[in-house]
Chains A and B, each alone.
Chain A
Amino acid sequence: AQSVTQLGSHVSVSEGALVLLRCNYSSSVPPYLFWYVQYPNQGLQLLLKYTSAATLVKGINGFEAEFKKSETSFHLTKPSAHMSDAAEYFCAVSAIQGGSEKLVFGKGMKLTVNP
C-alpha cells in the first residue's frame, strides 16, 4: 500500500535559515506526491505536486521539492525562512485503495520560525 512517512513532528528554524522538511514514500508504482500547508486555524492548501513531469518541482511561496526515486524521498525545501512560513506541512501520496484513488497523508510537521 502506498504511504508517506514524515519523521518527527516539529522543526524550528531561524528567520533566514534553510527550511528542510523530509518526506519518504512507499509505493510499488510511480507515485504522485504532494505537499500541503496548513496555516493556523485554516484548512489545507496545495504547495506543490509531483506528477513525473520533472523531478524538481517549484511551488508557491518559494518552496520547492525534489523527487529522488533512488532514495524514495520528496523533501521540501526553502532557501530562506520567513516568519509567515510558520505552519504545519503535510506530505501526501495519491494511493489506490478499494478501487479508487485517494490522498494518503503523513502525520504532518509543524514548522516554527524564530526571529
Chain B
Amino acid sequence: NAGVTQTPKFQVLKTGQSMTLQCAQDMNHEYMSWYRQDPGMGLRLIHYSVGAGITDQGEVPNGYNVSRSTTEDFPLRLLSAAPSQTSVYFCASSYSGGAATEAFFGQGTRLTVV
C-alpha cells in the first residue's frame, strides 16, 4: 500500500530554472494539497484540489502552478525558481477536505534553489 508518493526526494535548482514536483496517491482520495515547510513557519498551503479538474490557491501560491487531470496525480510546477522557494515540500491527500478527515502525507521533497 504505497499511500502518497512524492518524487524526487531531493533537488537542487539554479535560479530561473523550472521543474515539476510529482505527487501520486493510490487511495482514491478526492482532496489533494501541496504545502511548504520552512523553519519556524509550520506548514503553509500552496495549492489544493477538491477533485480532478478543480484546483484553487492556498496561502502562498505565487510562483507555483498546479493541475489535476486525474484523481491520482497532482503535480506542482515551479515556473522560474527563486532562492525564496528553497524549502521542503509536502503533498497530502484525504478522502475529502472536510472537517475531521485525516490527511495522509508524502515523505517530502527537499528543494534547494541556488
Give A contacts to B, CB under 8 Å.
9, 32, 41-46, 49, 51, 90, 94, 98, 100-108
Contacts and interface: CB of A to CB of B under 8 A. Distances in A.
Given A43-B90, A44-B90, A100-B97, A49 B41 contact: no
A49 B103 CA distance: 11
Interface residues of B, number: 27
A9 B41 CA distance: 10
Given A44-B90, A100-B48, A100-B50, A32 B108 contact: no
B99 A94 contact: yes
11 contacts: A9-B40, A43-B90, A43-B105, A43-B107, A49-B102, A94-B100, A94-B101, A102-B33, A102-B48, A102-B97, A104-B45
Closest 7 CB pairs of A and B: A43-B105, A32-B99, A107-B42, A51-B100, A94-B99, A105-B43, A105-B42
A102 B42 contact: no
Given A49-B102, A94-B98, A102 B107 contact: no
Interface of B: 4, 33, 35, 40-45, 48, 50, 56-58, 90, 92, 97-103, 105-108
Contacts of B43: 44, 90, 105
